[in-house]
Amino acid sequence: MNTILENFKKYVKNSPEKPALIFDDEIISYKKLNELVNALSNSLLYLKKGSIVSIFLDNSIDFVISYLGILNAGMIAHLIPINLSDEKIKQQLENAIPELVISSQSLIEKIKNIPYNCKKITVIDLINNTSTKQDDISHTNDIAYLIYTSGTTGVPKGVPITHENVEFTTSNIITKLNYTSSDVNLLPLPLSHSFGLGCLHASLSVGSTLILLKNATNTLSILESIKKNNVTTLAAVPLTLNKILKEHKNLCSNYLNNLRLIITNSTSIPVDTVKTYREILKNGKLATYYGLTEASRSTFMIFEDSGREESVGKPPSGIEIKIQNESTNELEIGEILIKGKNVIKNYWMNEKANKKIINDWLSTGDLGHKDMDGYLYLSGRLDDLINIAGEKVMPADIEKVVKVLTGVEDVLAIGMKNEMYGEVIKIFVKKLINTKITKSEILSHCIKNLESFKVPREIEFVNDFSSDEFGKMKHFRGE
């Protein structure tokens, strides 16, 4: 296996004029990208090997130049999502201890206002201010990049990803999803997240073209970009895929008929969405995967035949998954454990978090089970289990039952503290526009269709859910 940079440089040599990246109206070839990557690496050579350099950039060509430039200089890229609060950014900087933060004209003021003392500079200024001019730099370091997981409480955990992790995962992505140099890949996902970054790695490693979009909310621009650029693969979260169907279903068969692949990720995909995309993609496939930042792309699922629409698939060769529960029966729900070259060895300076990794097995905190053929199904988070007088309830069990009611768009179930029962269930319900469903109707439906201990104690109608950029609903706690 080769590193991402070795793969990328192969195509710099073999197909220098081929577009590597497209962003807005800017097209950048493999050759030009390599020149800029080298220029950025040159500007970092005053730092010692293995230094941390943070990237605080939105999706852009500058992001890719910075990222590859840092790796190429033998340093560690710390990726900061731009939508974080100032406090969270400060926590990350204080934990990662970067020598430098690279940003853009539009974001530099925000990062300068964070009280962490180091050099903060734009990509342009960094490249223009350097006097070192080595032609081709190629330094290495064990760790490629550092991403912090978005914990809802406490300080986020740093996840250092090695070049070996990246090589293994990229090879799995390419093999399982058949990426080739003839692909044109559309990415409306943040590069500061493992999903988006994995797509960049795959695209550059096979010498294909990657089209970057800044966000996934404008579904029409996604469809137009697919048509205009003859896109062959789209990577999008389930939320975006649902939004496309909701807003532009009539355009889908025309705009998506050239796609050979839509890859999404492991937050629950409604079965109907899977079925609809399977019908739309006459010449292509819908696929999903399950993974964590700490264990990227641990399974792959290509929805070819009906019957397993709710599964996230099986692990590729070299990755093991086991279900840990009291019955030691993997067909029953338990915590998912992962082992393989995609799994990190340890967290970033966090002894407490390191206890989650024992003998190379990572305890994910996710719940799931396997079927007889070894396909994995996700059920929820161990942390989200609601304990009602000793009875353990998964929020998804309740959400699934309430979701089938006409007039209900979405549901979120949480545990609410209760003196008598320990916890009771509260559900937040988002109604469809112009529907008049009542709380009594929902409650009656629950009483009819749920075991008695799973019936919600409280129902609250909400206009919307707090949803993070990756489409995972946050389980916000009741007071």
Partner 1 sequence: MSTNLNIEIKEVFFQIFPDLNESNFDWKKKQNDYEDWDSFSQLNLITMLEEKFSISISDMDSISIRSAEDALNFVKNRK
Which one of 220, 349, 389, 404 is in contact with partner 1 (CB under 8 A)? 389
* Options 45-53, 69-77, 276-284, 453-461: segment touching partner 1 (CB under 8 A): 453-461
If binding is defined by CB under 8 A, does position 458 make contact with partner 1?
Answer: yes
If binding is defined by CB under 8 A, does position 388 make contact with partner 1?
Answer: yes
If binding is defined by CB under 8 A, does position 452 make contact with partner 1?
Answer: yes
Q: Please state whether beta strands 319-324 and 422-431 pair in parallel, antiparallel, or not at all (unpaired).
A: unpaired
Which one of 250, 317, 359, 440 is in contact with partner 1 (CB under 8 A)? 440
If binding is defined by CB under 8 A, does position 212 make contact with partner 1?
Answer: no
If binding is defined by CB under 8 A, does position 429 make contact with partner 1?
Answer: no
If binding is defined by CB under 8 A, does position 449 make contact with partner 1?
Answer: no
Task: From 119, 114, 201, 136, select the one nearest 165 (Cα to Cα).
Answer: 201
Cβ 406 to partner 1, closest distance in Å? 19
Which one of 278, 308, 457, 472 is in contact with partner 1 (CB under 8 A)? 457
How many whole angstroms separate alpha carbon 418 and alpha carbon 207? 57
How many whole angstroms separate alpha carbon 453 and alpha carbon 457? 10
Residue 373 vs 419, nearer CB to partner 1:
419
Residue 388 vs 401, nearer CB to partner 1:
388
* Options 81-89, 92-100, 195-203, 455-463: segment touching partner 1 (CB under 8 A): 455-463
If binding is defined by CB under 8 A, does position 439 make contact with partner 1?
Answer: yes
Radius of gyration for the alpha carbons in the chain, expressed in angstroms and rounded: 23
Q: Which two tokens stand for residue 114?
A: 């964070």
If binding is defined by CB under 8 A, does position 421 make contact with partner 1?
Answer: yes
Cβ 410 to partner 1, closest distance in Å? 21
Other residues' Cβ atoms within 10 Å of the Cβ of residue 246: 10
Q: Which residue type is seen at 218? A: N
Cβ 458 to partner 1, closest distance in Å? 8
Q: Which of residues 94-133 bind partner 1 (CB under 8 A)?
A: none
The per-residue DSSP string of 425-479 comes to: EEEEEEEPTT----HHHHHHHHHHHS-GGGS-SEEEE-S---B-TTSPBP-PPP-
| Long-range contacts (CB closer than 8 Å, 24 or more residues apart) made by 463-470 | 463/430, 464/430, 465/410, 465/412, 465/428, 465/430, 467/239, 468/150, 469/81, 469/83, 469/190, 469/193, 469/216, 470/193, 470/195, 470/237, 470/265, 470/267
Which one of 4, 53, 236, 455 is in contact with partner 1 (CB under 8 A)? 455
Q: Applying CB under 8 A, what is the total number of residues that bind partner 1?
A: 20
Which DSSP letter does residue 316 get? P
Cβ atoms of 313 and 306 closer than 8 Å: no
If binding is defined by CB under 8 A, does position 359 make contact with partner 1?
Answer: no
Which DSSP letter does residue 314 get? B
Interface residues toward partner 1, by CB under 8 A: 388-389, 391, 419-421, 424, 439-440, 443-444, 447-448, 452-453, 455-459
